[in-house]
Structure 1
Amino acid sequence: MRTHLLRLLLLILLSSSAQALKCHECSATGNCFQPTTCSTMTRYCLISWYSPPGQQTSVTKTCAFTCPDVHQSMNYSRDFCCNTDLCNSTTSLHASWALLTLSICFLYLRG
Structure 2
Amino acid sequence: MRPLLLSLLLATLCADLARALHCHVCCGHKDCESLVECAPTDNYCVITQATNPGGILVMKSCAPVCPNSTMSSDGRTLSVSCCQGSQCNRAAGGLAASPGTLWLGAWASLLGPLLRVAW
1:20 aligns with 2:27: no
CA gap 1:82/1:17 in 2 versus in 1, 3 angstroms: farther
Runs of at least 4 residues off by over 2 Å: 15-19
Question: Percent of aligned positions with the same letter in both sequences?
Answer: 30
Bigger CA radius of gyration: 2
Q: Secondary structure at the match of 1:57?
A: strand
Alpha-carbon deviations, 1:75-102, whole Å to 9, x = none? 31111111100000117xxxxxxxxxxx
Number of positions where the alignment pairs a residue of Structure 1 with one of Structure 2: 75
Deviation at 1:68, TM superposition (A): 2.3
Q: 1:74 to 1:31 in 2, by over 3 A?
A: farther
* C-alpha deviation, 1:32, in angstroms: 1.8
Name structure 1 gaps, 5 residues minimum: 1-14, 92-111
- Cα distance change on mapping 1:50 and 1:29 into 2, 3 Å: farther
1:55, CA displacement in angstroms?
1.0
Cα-Cα RMSD: 2.6
Residue 59 of structure 2 aligns with which residue? 60
Corresponding residue number in structure 2 for 1:87: 88
Alignment CA distance shift 1:29-1:55 (3 Å): farther
TM normalised by structure 1 equals 0.57
Map 1:1-111 onto structure 2 (within 5 A).
15=15, 19-28=19-28, 32-52=32-52, 54-70=53-69, 73-75=70-72, 76-90=77-91
**Once the 2 structures are TM-superposed, how far is the Cα of residue 69 of structure 1 from its aligned partner?**
4.0
The structure with the largest strand share of the pair is 2
Contact 1:21 1:37 in 2 (8 A): yes
**AA at the equivalent of 1:26:** C
Letter in 2 for 1:80: S
How many Å separate the matches in 2 of 1:31 and 1:50?
Answer: 18
